[in-house]
Amino acid sequence: MKRANIHIGPYYIYLSVIDVNNERQSLIVQKKKISKLIASDYENSPEYQENTEQIITNYLEEIKKHKIEKIDIIAASCLGNSQSFSNMRLFLKNQKIGTLRLLTPEDEVISITKHILDTKSPFLIIYVGEGNFQLISGEKKEPILFINFELGLFTITHRFIKNDPPESEEIINLRDFITKELDRFQLIKVPKKIIATSDSGRILCQLLEGKEIKNDNESTLLNFNYLNKSIPSITKKYLSKIKTYPGMDPDYLFIIIATAILFEHLLEHFQLKELEIHPVPFLFSNVK
C-alpha cells in the first residue's frame, strides 16, 4: 500500500510518499518547500495564501503520479489557533481531497523521538525548526519531558534582524534573547546522548563545508570551534554575498545568520565540542 503525507507547518510544507509492505516502510518521495507563510499575517497577506496553496497543488500533482491508497494531510500544532489553519482547511475541503488534521505537541515529540533515536540510555533531543524549537528529554526511547521555546528560526530572524548585513546591536540583542531562553532549561545531569534534529542546521553544516550531503537521511556533525570562527564572516556579509553550495535552497539564506548564532549558543550552553544533527523526520503522520 502506498500512502502520501502532506505536513503543513508555519514556514514549510513537507511531502512524503511511503510504500508500506508487511509493516515495513520505504520512502519513495520526500520534498520540503520553505514557504513565507506567517501564521499571524496569513489572512492579511493574500500572496502568502496563494503561494502556499500553489505548493500544495503541486504536491497533489506529484501524488497523482503514484497509485496512492491514502492521503494524510496534517498541520503543525502551532497553527491550531491561526487563521491560516482555517483557510487551509477550507481550501482542502473545496479540493475534495481530505480533511486537514491538527497534530498535538505530543504527536510531534513522539514522532521525532521514534524516528531519530537509536539508544535506550537517557537522551536530550534539540529540535531546531523554522517555526518551532523544542527540547525533548527522556530515556529508553520514551520522551519524559519536552519544553517549547520562542526560538523558531524565522521567528527570531523577523524579531531581531532588520538589516542586511545586520547591525552589531541586532546581533547583541539576538544573543541576549537566546541566552535568556536557554537559561530556562538547566540539566541536573547531562545525558551522554545529546543530538539535534534540524534541516536548517544541516544546511548550515553544508554551507560551512561548501558541499552538499548526498543522502537526505544522513546526519552530520557541527564542530563548535569551526562554527565559532566562521560566524563573523557570515554576519558581516550581505546575504547575497554568502557563498552557497550547489543544490542549496536559497530560501534558507534568510535565516542562516540566526541558525549559526543559535547553534553556537546551543553548543556552548550544553558544553559540547560537536553536535550530531539529523534531518527532521517526514513521518509525523504515522503517529497514532
The pLDDT tens digits for 90-144 are 888 887 776 788 888 888 888 888 877 777 788 999 999 888 899 998 887 788 8
pLDDT category of residue 267 using cuts at 50, 70 and 90: very high
Could you tell me which residue, 49 or 181, shows the higher pLDDT? 181
The pLDDT value recorded for residue 285 is 47
The pLDDT tens digits for 160-170 are 999 999 999 99
Q: In the structure grid, which three cell numbers stand for residue 79, read together? A: 497553527
Which span out of 55-64, 75-84, 88-97 was modeled with the highest average pLDDT?
55-64
pLDDT category of residue 73 using cuts at 50, 70 and 90: confident
> For cell 527570531, what's the residue?
156
Q: Are 178 and 272 part of one and the same domain? A: yes
Q: In angstroms, rounded to a whole number, what is the distance separating the alpha carbons of residues 268 and 205?
A: 17
Q: Are 154 and 237 part of one and the same domain? A: yes
Q: Are 158 and 207 part of one and the same domain? A: yes
Q: Are 63 and 16 part of one and the same domain? A: yes
Q: Are 116 and 52 part of one and the same domain? A: no
Q: In angstroms, rounded to a whole number, what is the distance separating the alpha carbons of residues 84 and 36?
A: 12
User: What's the domain range around 59?
Assistant: 2-103
Q: What is the CATH number of the domain that holds 79?
A: 3.30.420.40
User: In this structure, how many other beta carbons lie within 10 angstroms of the beta carbon of residue 136?
Assistant: 21
Q: Are 191 and 235 part of one and the same domain? A: yes
List the Cα angle 107/62/11 in 5-degree steps: 45
The pLDDT value recorded for residue 161 is 94
Q: Are 217 and 277 part of one and the same domain? A: yes
Task: Give the pLDDT mean for 7-33.
Answer: 75
**Cα Rg of the chain, angstroms:** 19
Q: Are 124 and 263 part of one and the same domain? A: yes
Q: What is the CATH number of the domain that holds 232?
A: 3.30.420.150
Looking at the structure of the chain, the number of domains it has is 2
**In the predicted structure, residue 270 carries a pLDDT above the cut 60:** yes
Q: Are 138 and 181 part of one and the same domain? A: yes
pLDDT category of residue 25 using cuts at 50, 70 and 90: low
Residue ending a domain, among 103, 130, 149, is 103
